[in-house]
Structure 1
């Protein structure tokens, strides 16, 4: 009896690992874009977080003797026009861009969710709120962000605020459309007739139906926020020039593109891959959370 227990434990561990492996293969087979996007984004996040441990160069350290140096053993991604290590600056720039994207995605989703619920369920709130959203959407996104940045002091916080205001109408309109589709359904009318309070109906019956589309929309907002932040910084209307962000790095290197193209190509490639990974996750989540597509395969 005593000798059988270790064997039983080993068999039990193997049996526990089999369902996990099968579920992972099932997820990879049915939703490969989620797995690929999450893997790419995880690598970028890890490099961004632990990249400073791999280099001894300060992103703001100027070395005039190594101006526009190509990739070498000491500077694995080369240097910029001031001799600053491009790897360190790209890693620190990734921190700024990822923080802006994640925070904007969270703020725009939370605020837009609340406004969209009120606008979709309250006819009076809808009449007022949607006119404001229509006014914001009538202004081009970049021009509105530049205008907001022009009246405030340039910093990471003002960039987050400006991009959140720009992306807010998308979320509000999405949530409102979802609420309008289920507001007049039978279970909502039954809950209202039975005397259920307004806020209880809103948060118990309507809010859960908005989570799936909001999750997908949040990924696209995160990707759009990273692009807008980089574009604002590239145009000189985003984060301060002394802050190493992907947009600032590319803006500083555009005058030297023919002499040192890696100054623009390296952060630009990282930016493109990051946005691509987030969009892949968004596409995969859309397929996973759509009940019509989930029943296929």
Structure 2
């Protein structure tokens, strides 16, 4: 994230403190329920096992421990040298960075690139084996100047691409698989330049035409959702906490200038009680869904009868009246 983005985000958050009581609550929406769904929602109400829609089962064991592999390693789990890195073409994501065996390399949103730092250790590193820096070289289409390394907490050296630590995913078992894409709303396949692999070049929030009509998507082209138990009046309140937030990651604040097609009124960020900063559309908190793996997925639509895609004016698309 660059300095201008951070500054714009801080300005938007500060403005929210003054504007929420006048800008929010124009869309009454469905009646708000409990403010702590983690304690009161029925099992499966946020898309986990037992969800009446069946979407929770599509996530499968991929989110049981929060890392996406339930602590088990697949054939890609060993710390194998990367060898000569390569670029593969993926129909859904475009150019994807792979190791010499064709295994997809990933990056983690909770890491940092400036300075490089890995925040995936212990069980996380079993699910997402760090790629060793030893013997990694740049193949065709890869700028060798982007290759680097970072020393991990255990003293081992991990490969970095443009500063971002690189990982494999334990559940990828053959070349070309991208089953780690979008896991937990934090893990993404790498492009050759270290960025998230994507065919999209989108602003922070924009509008996409789908079978549901016009809906809001984030900077990665992923569908944005609303939770009917949230509140927008007298201030934005998220009822999605704990395990719910693992399934439905909060969309981070973006500048109103970094949006396209989304209604500007009530477009601001706020800080949740857990410290997470979250974006709102028409003052309603917005989320992505860990069960959506690639741009265009709308697997979260209607989950538990409480989760719906967001229209450009912030209303829940297809929600019961």
What is the TM-score of this pair, normalised by structure 1? 0.26
Point out the structure with max Rg over C-alpha. Answer: 1
Indicate the structure whose relative CO is greater, using CA pairs within 8 Å and at least 6 residues apart: 1
Q: Which has the higher strand share?
A: 2
What is the TM-score of this pair, normalised by structure 2? 0.24
Q: Which has the higher helix share?
A: 1
